[in-house]
Structure 1
Amino acid sequence: MDLLEARLKKIDRRNYRSYSSLRGQYNFVDYDFFIDIPQSDPFAPATRVRARRQWSLTDLAWLKNQSADYQRAARDFIARQFADLAREVNEIQIDRPGQAVLDRTAVVFDDDAIELRFRVDLPADGRTIIAKKALNLLTFTLPKIIRRATIARELPMDDLRRHCEAVEDQVALRSQLKEKKLIAFVADHSVLPRLAGNSEQPMPDAVPFISPDSLAVELDAPHAGKLRGMGIPTGITMIVGGGFHGKSTLLNAVENAVYDHVPGDGREYVVADETASKIRAEDGRCVHSVDLSPYINNLPMGKDTTCFSTQNASGSTSQAAWLQESLEAGAQTLLIDEDTSASNFMIRDERMQALIAKEDEPITPLVDRIALLRNHLNVSVMLVMGGSGDYLDVADTVIQMHNYEAVDVTAKAKTVVQSHPTQRQPEGSDTIEQPRVRQLNRSGLQAQLEEGKFRIQVKNKQSLRFGREFVDLQALEQIADASQLHTIGWLWCQLAQLKGWEKQPVTAFQKMLQDEWFRTMPNYGDLAKPRVVDVMAVLNRMRKSEFK
C-alpha cells in the first residue's frame, strides 16, 4: 500500500496518461492488489484491477471442497455481494450477474486465494490526475468492500448456502431429463411470467404454474427433495391456446431454462435440455455455405441450395438456415414460436397448394419435415402454434395454455385430427440427414482482427465488435449476458492464432470451453461461459465469416 501511495503522490496534477505508471502489484495487509490495465483517458474504459485474498483470511476455505457447480454458485454470490457493497460508489464496477447463474470470471477460486476482478474509474479534473481522491478510493473505500465481500462473518451465510444449493438442485434436475425422456421440466408453483418485456424479474401476483396430472412427473433434487412438475416429453410438443393465455410465456421459460437461476426468480426449478436452440425468422441476415436442401430447392436460375450463401436472407431462408446451423452445433431440441416464424416456412395449406403447384414452390414447409427430424435425427421440437392445426397430425403431445394454466389436450387433439382430416398433400422427400459439418477459415478471423486493430468490444447483448465488424445479434434470445459475447470474441481470437481451415469448429469450441476454460483467457472480470450452440450462432452472423 505504501508503494501505491508513493506512486500516486508522484503523479499528482499530471496528465491523465501518467496513471499508466501504476501498473503492477501492491501488497496490502490482508490482500494483494493488481492494476493490470490502467485507463489511458477519463473517457476510456475503466481501469482493470484484481484483488487476491488468501483463503486462510476468509473462513471460506470449505468452499474448495464443494462440487464445481456449488463453487460456481458461490463465486456468483460473492460477485453479487461485491456489487451490492459497491452500489453507492460509482467509480467501482464489477460484472454484476442477472437472474441466471453463469460461470463468470468476476470472482475466481484458486488453490490459495479468492480473486476478485473488476474495474475502477480513476479520478480526474478534466484530464488532470487528482491523486488525493484516487488515494482515498484505492486505499480506504475499496479495501472495505473487498474485505466485506470475502470474509464469512460479513456475508449472509444462510443465503449463500441457499443460493448454492438451488444451483446444485437445478443441475441435478437437468441431468435427469435424458433418462426420463424429457426435454424440459417445469416444477409446480413456478412463476413463469416476467415483470415486463425488458425485465427478468418475476411478476408479482402471477398465477403459479401447476402441472396437469397426465404430464406430472417427480424428479429428485439433492437439497429440495422430490419435486413434482410437468415433464415435457421428447418428440414433438405443441403449445396451443388463445392469445394472451401464456403460450409464449411457457416457451420463454423453457428457452431460459438452459441456465440455472437464482432463488426467488420463480424459475429456479424449471430446467431444459442444455442444447435447446430457439430459432426464428431473421430477415436480412447472412448465411454461409449452409445446406438448405431439406427445406429449399429448385430456386430460380438454378441456384444451388446444398451449399447456400447470401448476405440478405429472406425470412424463410434465414429460419431454415438457423435450423440447420443449430443441428450442426449439436442442438437436440428446437424451440419455435409461430409469432416470430416465417409463415411460408411453417406451413403451406391446401388452398395454396391448389393455387401454386409444388414444382413452382421452392420451399418445403417444416410441417412436412418435422416428423423426420424426430424419427431419423432424434431431434425434439417444442412449438407454440395458434394459427395452424396441420401440426396436430404429427404432434406427440399437445398442451393448451388457458389463463396461464396448462391443460393436456393430447387426446382431444387426436379426436380433432380424426374428425377433421387435413386436405393438404405432404410435400418433400421421406428422408432427412444430419447437416454436413462446415469448415471454418481461421486465417479469415485473424484478418478481421488485423483490419480492426485487434478490437473485441461488447456493450450489450445485441452486438459484438470483432475487428472492424459489428455483428448484429438482436435475434439471439438465448444469450443471457453480454459477458458471454465477450468470451465468444476471445474464443474466436484463440482460434485465429492457428492458420488454415478448422475442420471441426464445433468440437474445437467444445474443447476450449471445458473445465477451467477461463485459464486461457485474459485476466478479465467480464467474461462468462457461453454454450457452444451460441458460439456458433454468433459466428454464423458475422458477415465476413468464411465457411466451406
Structure 2
Amino acid sequence: MKSSNELRTMLRSIDHRSYPAYKSLAGQWQFDRYVLSIDHVQGDPFASPSSLHVELAHKVDGFPAVYYKEDCSRIALQDYLTRRLAEQFERYNFKAKGSGKSGLMSISRCGQEILERSACEITETKLIVRFHVGFPAFGRSVNAGDMEKILFDFLPRCVEFGLLYARQDKKKVEETVHLAEDQEALRGILAKEGLVAFVANGAVLPRKSGISDLPMAGSVPFTSPKTLERTFTLPHKGEITGMAVARGITLIVGGGYHGKSTLLEAIQSGVYNHIAGDGREFVLTDDTAVKLRAEDGRSVRDVDISLFINDLPNGKDTKVFSTEDASGSTSQAA
C-alpha cells in the first residue's frame, strides 16, 4: 500500500493536466490514522462526484466494543457516526473551489429513522465510512492545490472530529446506544405479549409539515386511553407507559382533525427506530407490518363486496362487482 506522501507527490504531478488524470489516484493510501481508498473517480467535474471510503482500526477510533456488540446498538452507532461526519462535511463543503461539483463533500443524508446504511459499517476489526467528493477543477483541468486541501486538510479534520471516540460527546454516544437497546427490548416485549404496536405516553406524533418529518413544535403529547394502557420496564429507561395495540382488528374513530391519520402514520413509521428528540422514539410497531390503503381509481373485477356495499342506485350487482374506476370505499371493500 502506498503512503499519503506518495499520494501528495502524484497529485502535484498532475496539476493542470486534463481532468481524467485524476483517475491515476485510484487505489488505497495509508494516512496516519486511517486508510483512504479512492474507489471511483468521476470523469468530468460536472459528473456525479467521486466515491471514496476510509477505514479505521478500532484501536484508532476508540469506541468501546460493547457499543457495537449487538446488532441494534451497532446500527445505532453507525447511524450516529454517519450524522456526525455529515456535520463535519457541512463545514468544509465547497470550500475547495472550481467548476462543476468541485469541492463537494457529502455522505448519505439521514432522516429521522435509524437505518442500516452502506455509508457506515462497523465490523469486528474496523470502521468503514463511504462518502463522495467532487474533485476540484479549473474548467476541465486538474486543480491539484484545492484537491490537496481536501485530502490533507479538510478530510483528516472531518475524520478526527466525526469518527474518533475521543472527540465525541461521550454521554450522547452512550444515550444513543442505550436508546437502541431500550427500543430493541420493547420490541421483544411486544412480541412476547402478543402486541403489534406501542405508542408511549408523551410521544409527539404530529410532524412539522407535510414535507418535513421533524416534530411539530407546541403539539399535544399523546396520552393513551386507559382501556389500552400498559406499563413495561426497559433496561435503561425503566418504566414506560403507553397504548398497547393487540393482534387482531383495532378500529380508530374520531371527528375531523382529531388525529386519526397522525396516529396511523406514527404507527406505520414505527417499524423503524427513531432518533432521540424525534418524539416517536417509543412508538414501535412489529417490524413485519405493512400498510394497506384504499386506492381510488383502480380496476376491480368480479369481486363479492355485498357484505359492505349493496343496493346501489344503478341496481348493479355487488356480489359479482366490476368497475374500471373504483371509489375509495369500493376499493377498500374489494
Q: Per the shorter chain, which TM-score range?
A: 0.7 to 0.9
Counterpart Cα distance in 1 of 2:122 and 2:308: 55
Q: Is the 8 A contact 1:83 1:93 kept in 2?
A: yes
Q: Is the 8 A contact 2:19 2:43 kept in 1?
A: yes
What secondary structure sits across from 2:252 in the alignment? strand
In structure 1, the residue matched to 2:11 is 8
Q: Is the 8 A contact 2:67 2:77 kept in 1?
A: no
In structure 1, the residue matched to 2:27 is 24
- Which consecutive unaligned segments of at least 5 residues does structure 1 have? 284-313, 321-343, 364-384, 392-426, 429-548
In structure 1, the residue matched to 2:39 is 36
Change (3 A) 1:64 1:190: closer
Counterpart Cα distance in 2 of 1:30 and 1:345: 66
In structure 1, the residue matched to 2:232 is 219
1:174-195 deviation per Cα after TM superposition (whole angstroms, max 9, x unaligned) = 2222322221100100000000
In the alignment, structure 1 residue 355 sits paired with structure 2 residue 315? yes
Counterpart Cα distance in 2 of 1:347 and 1:204: 44
Partner AA of 2:253 in structure 1: V
Q: Is the 8 A contact 1:281 1:316 kept in 2?
A: no
What secondary structure sits across from 2:217 in the alignment? coil
1:509-520 correspondence to structure 2 within 5 Å: none
1:40-51 correspondence to structure 2 within 5 Å: 40-51=43-54
Counterpart Cα distance in 1 of 2:146 and 2:73: 39
Deviation (angstroms), 1:150: 2.1
Counterpart Cα distance in 1 of 2:31 and 2:282: 42
In structure 2, the residue matched to 1:75 is 78
Counterpart Cα distance in 2 of 1:156 and 1:345: 59
> How many residues are paired up?
315
Change (3 A) 1:194 1:125: same
Change (3 A) 1:192 1:271: same
- Which consecutive unaligned segments of at least 5 residues does structure 2 have? 94-103
User: Scaled by the length of structure 1, what TM-score is found?
Assistant: 0.54
In the alignment, structure 1 residue 315 sits paired with structure 2 residue 328? no
In the alignment, structure 1 residue 55 sits paired with structure 2 residue 58? yes
Deviation (angstroms), 1:353: 8.0
1:436-455 correspondence to structure 2 within 5 Å: none
User: Scaled by the length of structure 2, what TM-score is found?
Assistant: 0.87
- State the percentage of identical aligned residues: 34
In the alignment, structure 1 residue 275 sits paired with structure 2 residue 258? no
Change (3 A) 1:11 1:281: farther
Q: Is the 8 A contact 2:305 2:319 kept in 1?
A: no
Counterpart Cα distance in 1 of 2:189 and 2:300: 35
Partner AA of 1:270 in structure 2: V
1:228-274 deviation per Cα after TM superposition (whole angstroms, max 9, x unaligned) = 10011211111111111100000000000000000110000010011
Counterpart Cα distance in 1 of 2:291 and 2:91: 38
Q: Is the 8 A contact 1:316 1:345 kept in 2?
A: no
Partner AA of 1:59 in structure 2: G
1:466-503 deviation per Cα after TM superposition (whole angstroms, max 9, x unaligned) = xxxxxxxxxxxxxxxxxxxxxxxxxxxxxxxxxxxxxx
> 1:115 is matched with which residue: 125, 128, 147?
128
Deviation (angstroms), 1:360: 5.2
In the alignment, structure 1 residue 252 sits paired with structure 2 residue 235? no
Q: Is the 8 A contact 1:216 1:230 kept in 2?
A: yes
What secondary structure sits across from 1:351 in the alignment? coil
1:262-295 deviation per Cα after TM superposition (whole angstroms, max 9, x unaligned) = 0110000010011111123557xxxxxxxxxxxx
Counterpart Cα distance in 2 of 1:122 and 1:185: 47
Q: Is the 8 A contact 1:172 1:220 kept in 2?
A: no
**RMSD of the alignment, in Å?**
2.6
Deviation (angstroms), 1:17: 1.2
Counterpart Cα distance in 1 of 2:85 and 2:143: 25
Counterpart Cα distance in 2 of 1:208 and 1:165: 23
Counterpart Cα distance in 2 of 1:254 and 1:176: 17
Partner AA of 2:233 in structure 1: D
Counterpart Cα distance in 1 of 2:307 and 2:274: 36
In the alignment, structure 1 residue 171 sits paired with structure 2 residue 154? no
Counterpart Cα distance in 1 of 2:196 and 2:291: 13
What secondary structure sits across from 1:249 in the alignment? helix
In structure 2, the residue matched to 1:263 is 276
Q: Is the 8 A contact 1:23 1:36 kept in 2?
A: yes
Deviation (angstroms), 1:77: 0.6
What secondary structure sits across from 1:232 in the alignment? strand
1:30-80 deviation per Cα after TM superposition (whole angstroms, max 9, x unaligned) = 111100011111121111111111211222143466322111111111111
In structure 2, the residue matched to 1:545 is none
Counterpart Cα distance in 1 of 2:35 and 2:89: 19
1:102-161 deviation per Cα after TM superposition (whole angstroms, max 9, x unaligned) = 011211112322111111111012211100000111111111111222222210111111
1:322-373 deviation per Cα after TM superposition (whole angstroms, max 9, x unaligned) = xxxxxxxxxxxxxxxxxxxxxx98985343288222355248xxxxxxxxxx
